[in-house]
Amino acid sequence: EGEGWRLPFVAHLFRRNEGRHVFRLALSKMLLFQGLLKIKSFDADAQKLYEERARLVFRNLELFAEHRGHRLEARLVGTDSVWREIPSTDKDGRAEASLWFSDEEIAKATQQVMSTSGAVRVEVRLVDRPMTAPVSALLPLVNLNGVTVISDIDDTVKVTEVFKGHARVIENTFLRKFRAVDGMADLYREW
């Protein structure tokens, strides 16, 4: 395709989570935490973390087709880049595409976000709902040459304590603030 960049886009539609999944949250808390793990009460911070994180899991378990078949489009922020259509969402509300952008478009987009690490900001919007604001994300650029590190998260980047059993993993995932593994951030930066 000549000079330029091919950028991967993955979009996943969700409804807002606030106030949703109340029954699932209560049932899960009763069966999993109180029944299986014998954790009878949560302090206020643990309750808030549990609800926030469990909703992220529950929204992936929705069996409704309301997110299927939506047309999406994407563009680079801060350029004259036009909106480019990406495939419609699948039964799970997910769409995936790979779009090509010229070197000039990428250069303008990296200047817009004042990125020294080589990143661009992208926007994705629903075509069939023009009043819904687009969402944006920072997309890191990876050169063809060099080293890219792909890593597991649990007990590599954040403390999960997988080796201490499922009860500890569930507590660290749903009830405690995430803790970084000492020294890993510096190590990744060095690479």
On average, the pLDDT of the chain sits at 82
Residue 112 has pLDDT above 70, yes or no: yes
pTM for this entry: 0.62
Using pLDDT thresholds of 50, 70 and 90, give the confidence band for residue 91: confident
Residue 27 has pLDDT above 80, yes or no: yes
Using pLDDT thresholds of 50, 70 and 90, give the confidence band for residue 65: low
In a 13 Å sphere around the CA of 76, the CA atoms on its Cβ side amount to 28
Residue 98 has pLDDT above 80, yes or no: yes
DSSP 166-177: HHHHHHHHHTS-
Using pLDDT thresholds of 50, 70 and 90, give the confidence band for residue 84: very high
Q: Closest by alpha carbon to 81, among 60, 54, 50, 112?
A: 112
Say how far apart CA 52 and CA 70 lie, in whole Å: 26
Contact by Cβ (8 Å): 77, 121: yes
Q: pLDDT: is 106 or 79 the higher one?
A: 106
Q: What share of the chain is helix, strand, coil (3-state, %, to 5)?
A: 30, 20, 45
Using pLDDT thresholds of 50, 70 and 90, give the confidence band for residue 11: confident
pLDDT of residue 73: 92
